[in-house]
């Protein structure tokens, strides 16, 4: 269908406009982060990137991180999480596994153990249910380090967790007392 390079290029463009800067191509997201598919395709083409529905569908379905989703009628699309703009994804609180994981770089540890895991410019702190995913995330930031998050105790202390459509666990903040290095 399309090359891996082209797939990556389109995926990065979708991440930009569906998570951070819809205005970059002249679209607006609704309050739940949805964009009209036909308008998205039109604006992407006007911005100089060739895109049709079949290609968009392929990029969404082949994205290993499942970053994007269509609604049930395939006429709207959104990013599953990772937004730096104000959207309400309507995730409902979920019971997480007892331990979750967070991948980071060794250079961030002092700050994390002082201040905890903060959402920074995103809506939530992103956590994974498995170590391998946390390692991959950590590799993006330098030498990977995996932190264990005591999700069970956090939930017992009335801290809410949400599960995104692509399996990423989300929470607002993880205090240092709930963290330890994964061994």
The 3-class SS string of the chain reads: CCCHHHHHHHHHHHHHHHHHCHHHCCCCCCCCCCEEHHHHHHHHHHCCCCCCHHHHHHHHHHCCCCCEEECCCCCEEEECCCCCCCCCCCCCEECCCCEEEEEEEHHHHHHHHHHCEECCCCCCEEEECCHHHHHHHHHCCCCEEEEEEEHHHHHHCCCCEEECCCCCEEECEECHHHEEECC
Residues 18 and 49 in one domain: yes
Average the pLDDT over 159-171 and give the result: 92
Instruction: Report if residue 84 sits inside a domain.
Output: no
Query: What are the tens digits of pLDDT across the range 39-78?
Result: 999 999 999 999 999 999 999 999 888 899 999 999 999 9
Judge if 18 and 40 occupy the same domain.
yes
Q: How many domains does the chain have?
A: 2
Whether residue 55 is found in the same domain as residue 120: no
Does 92 have pLDDT greater than 80?
yes
Which of 21, 44, 79 terminates a domain? The answer is: 79
- Residue 86 domain flag: no
Residue 136 lies in a domain: yes
| 97 and 65 within one domain | no
Q: What pLDDT shows up at residue 143?
A: 87
Tell me how far apart the alpha carbons of residues 182 and 3 are, in angstroms, rounded to a whole number.
Answer: 37
Average pLDDT, the chain: 93
* pTM to 2 decimal places: 0.73
Looking at residue 63, its pLDDT comes to 86
Has residue 107 been placed in a domain? yes
* Domain hosting residue 160, numbered range: 93-181
The stretch 103-110 carries a mean pLDDT of 92
């Amino acid at each position: 269908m399309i090359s891996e390079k082209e797939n990556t290029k389109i995926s990065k463009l979708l991440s930009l406009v569906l998570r951070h800067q819809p205005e970059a191509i002249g679209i607006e997201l609704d309050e739940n982060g949805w964009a009209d598919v036909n308008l998205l395709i039109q604006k992407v083409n006007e911005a100089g990137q060739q895109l049709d529905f079949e290609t968009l569908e392929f990029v969404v379905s082949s994205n290993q991180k499942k970053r994007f989703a269509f609604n049930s009628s395939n006429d709207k699309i959104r990013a599953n999480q990772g937004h730096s703009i104000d959207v309400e994804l309507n995730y409902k609180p979920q019971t997480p596994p007892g331990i979750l994981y967070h991948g980071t770089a060794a250079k961030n540890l002092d700050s994390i153990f002082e201040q905890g895991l903060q959402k920074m410019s995103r809506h939530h702190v992103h956590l994974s249910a498995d170590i391998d995913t946390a390692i991959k995330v950590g590799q993006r930031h330098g030498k990977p380090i995996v932190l264990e998050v005591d999700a069970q105790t956090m939930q017992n202390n009335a801290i809410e967790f949400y599960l995104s459509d692509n399996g990423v666990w989300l929470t607002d903040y993880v205090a240092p007392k709930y963290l330890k290095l994964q061994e």
